[in-house]
Amino acid sequence: MNRNKREKEYYSIDVGDSTFMVLKRYQNLRPIGSGAQGIVCSAYDHNLERNVAIKKLSRPFQNQTHAKRAYRELVLMKCVNHKNIIGLLNVFTPQKTLEEFQDVYLVMELMDANLCQVIQMELDHERLSYLLYQMLCGIKHLHAAGIIHRDLKPSNIVVKSDCTLKILDFGLARTAATGLLMTPYVVTRYYRAPEVILGMGYQANVDVWSVGCIMAEMVRGSVLFPGTDHIDQWNKVIEQLGTPSQEFLMKLNQSVRTYVENRPRYAGYSFEKLFPDVLFPADSEHNKLKENVFYCCSECR
């Protein structure tokens, strides 16, 4: 395609504090969110005749780490096809040559809100259970494909007004191959599993811990383990769930084990204290959420 014709396909528009250079098929851009991986806006796609979300990756090639994250997100979104995983509709760059190449735009399905907003609503047990079920379906599909998300948190889970749920943001995701060194700097602090906090090797079950923390937050309306740093995060976990067994401690390296063993021992809170009955009003004939919470918390521990 000649240069002039290509240039006519794009236009520039300021979205929040960023400038987007997008295809003319995308109009009415409005900022809807931002994060470490990029800035997201809503737009109307005249080709598909539907609203979409456009994510501009933030400086994806400034270093090797950013480049890997951008590549992972693009590849995984192209490969994964599941109703509870956000769908990739298009990907483009306005640059014309490899030397100029610096911006990547991902076009995705547009949802109505993220789970941070939903948690603040008073949802009934049926809707809470349905949202949890969809989270687990999406994670099960990823794990079956050998993919660990590694950054599950409410802001990376989006919903529509009809209560359908999708998981997004795969910048930290990776394959669950054995024998590979796994970085401990994954998962937003509140949702990190003990294996991650303590620098142990970990597997796909770290995502299940994150789902458990998210589910508890949905029920309680507040973060379950609001640590201020990784040490305080560990203290919050053992204060509420209890000091782990000696068998678990023996899996730690010597310096970490010494620190953990020198901490006061905690018996942990009872289920009734973590999730008091007042959180489960008997106003639904399908009141199964309490049993679901108990089962999942037992599995996480």
Q: pLDDT tens digit string along 159-171?
A: 998 999 999 877 6
Statement: 113-284 belongs to CATH 1.10.510.10:
yes
What residue ranges of the chain are covered by domains with CATH 3.30.200.20? Answer: 30-109
Question: Which range (9-23, 94-108, 117-131, 272-286) has the least confidence?
Answer: 272-286
Q: Between residues 44 and 119, which one has the greater pLDDT? A: 44
Task: Give the span between the Cα atoms of 31 and 235, in whole angstroms.
Answer: 38
- Catalytic, 151? Answer yes
Averaged pLDDT, 97-104: 87
pLDDT (tens digit per residue) in 205-227? 889 999 999 999 999 889 999 99
Q: Which fold has domain 30-109?
A: Phosphorylase Kinase; domain 1 (3.30.200)
pTM for the whole structure: 0.81
Joined together, the tokens standing for residue 230 give 């990784």
pLDDT at 3: 56
pLDDT at 63: 84
Nearest C-alpha neighbor of 141 from the set 84, 188, 90: 84
Q: How confident is the model at residue 179 (pLDDT cuts 50, 70, 90)?
A: very low
Q: What percent of the chain has pLDDT over 70?
A: 83
Mean pLDDT of the chain: 83
Please give, one letter per residue, the 3-state secondary structure of 270-300.
Answer: CHHHHCCHHHCCCCCCCCCHHHHHHHHHHHH
pLDDT at 178: 41
| Active-site entry in 45, 103, 151, 207 | 151
Question: Which range (25-34, 35-44, 87-96, 176-185) has the least confidence?
Answer: 176-185
pLDDT at 76: 82
| Residue 144: CB atoms within 10 Å | 10
pLDDT surpassing 50 at residue 120: yes
Task: Give the span between the Cα atoms of 301 and 296, in whole angstroms.
Answer: 9
Joined together, the tokens standing for residue 6 give 């290509």
Task: Give the span between the Cα atoms of 129 and 107, in whole angstroms.
Answer: 29
In degrees, rounded to 5, the angle at the alpha carbon of residue 84 between the alpha carbons of residues 28 and 149 is 100
User: CA-based Rg of the chain, rounded to a whole angstrom?
Assistant: 21
What residue ranges of the chain are covered by domains with CATH 1.10.510.10? Answer: 113-284
Q: Between residues 224 and 279, which one has the greater pLDDT? A: 224
pLDDT at 183: 44
pLDDT at 300: 42
pLDDT surpassing 80 at residue 284: no
pLDDT at 185: 44
pLDDT at 2: 54
